[in-house]
């Protein structure tokens, strides 16, 4: 299995590597053209030995030459596809390493943000249910989605959200998000 197929499998994508399928089809076509060229060559020799006319021999030679050209073109395309697949494997490996590095760095930063949010919720004296609602609202879920995630009613979530806003002194979800995220989005020079 190629690196691309392995990476697709590890990321939950289908195992079918379209590049491999295309290369197999191209190789099959090249083999078929080669078989045609060989058969045409055998027929050409047989016809020449039996004294076939030159026009017939010329047509068969032309078909054989076209089959050989087809084999060469398909073989060249196959080699180019293999080189491109190898380049894509290298690029995919580099991208996966970069994504892994970013994920690790982001995880560290987000852990710190999560701890800061939790500490602020404590200062606001939020109940465990209000904390959970507050976090889900910060993640961008609607009241209905929060209710579904918590298996509770939407009016209950609305009431808990109001308590979060009241205890925090904030007016709404936008203010809640801005309270925690505003400084994260400043340009680098402003920090």
CATH, residue 156: 1.10.10.10
Confidence of residue 34 (pLDDT cuts 50, 70, 90): confident
Confidence of residue 17 (pLDDT cuts 50, 70, 90): low
**In whole numbers, what is the pLDDT of the chain averaged over residues?**
85
Average pLDDT over residues 30-39: 86
Q: Which domain holds residue 80?
A: 3-105
Q: Is residue 111 part of a domain?
A: no
Tokens linked to 61:
């030679």
Tokens linked to 79:
């080699």
Could you give the 3-state DSSP secondary structure of residue 91? helix
What is the rounded CA–CA span in Å between residue 22 and residue 97? 27
> Do residue 133 and residue 98 come from a single domain?
no
Contacts 24+ apart (CB under 8 A), 119-123: 120/179, 120/180
Of all residues in the chain, what percent carry a pLDDT higher than 70? 85
Average pLDDT over residues 70-84: 87
| CB 134 within 8 Å of CB 176 | yes
| CB 176 within 8 Å of CB 137 | yes
Overall domain count for the chain: 2
> Do residue 129 and residue 51 come from a single domain?
no
Q: Is residue 118 part of a domain?
A: no
Tokens linked to 120:
């602020």
Q: Which of 188, 182, 170, 161 is nearest to 113 (CA)?
A: 182
Convert the pLDDT of each residue in 91-111 to its tens digit: 999 999 999 998 888 887 788
Q: Which of 77, 97, 80, 74 is nearest to 3 (CA)?
A: 97
Convert the pLDDT of each residue in 163-172 to its tens digit: 999 999 999 9
């Amino acid at each position: 299995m190629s690196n691309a197929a392995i990476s697709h499998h590890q990321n939950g994508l289908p195992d079918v590597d379209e590049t491999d399928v295309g290369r197999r089809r191209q190789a099959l076509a090249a083999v078929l053209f080669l078989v045609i060229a060989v058969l045409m060559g055998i027929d050409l020799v047989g016809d020449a030995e039996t004294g076939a006319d030159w026009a017939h021999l010329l047509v068969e030679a032309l078909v054989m030459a076209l089959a050989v050209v087809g084999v060469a073109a398909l073989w060249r395309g196959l080699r180019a596809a293999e080189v491109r697949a190898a380049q894509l494997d290298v690029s995919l490996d580099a991208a996966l390493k970069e994504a892994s590095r970013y994920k690790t760095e982001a995880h560290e930063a987000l852990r710190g943000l999560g701890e800061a949010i939790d500490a602020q919720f404590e200062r606001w004296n939020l109940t465990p249910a209000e904390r959970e609602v507050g976090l889900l609202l910060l993640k961008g879920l609607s009241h209905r989605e929060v209710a579904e995630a918590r298996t509770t009613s939407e009016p209950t979530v609305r009431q808990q959200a109001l308590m979060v806003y009241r205890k925090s002194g904030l007016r709404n979800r936008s203010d809640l998000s801005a309270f925690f995220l505003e400084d994260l989005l400043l340009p680098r020079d402003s920090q």
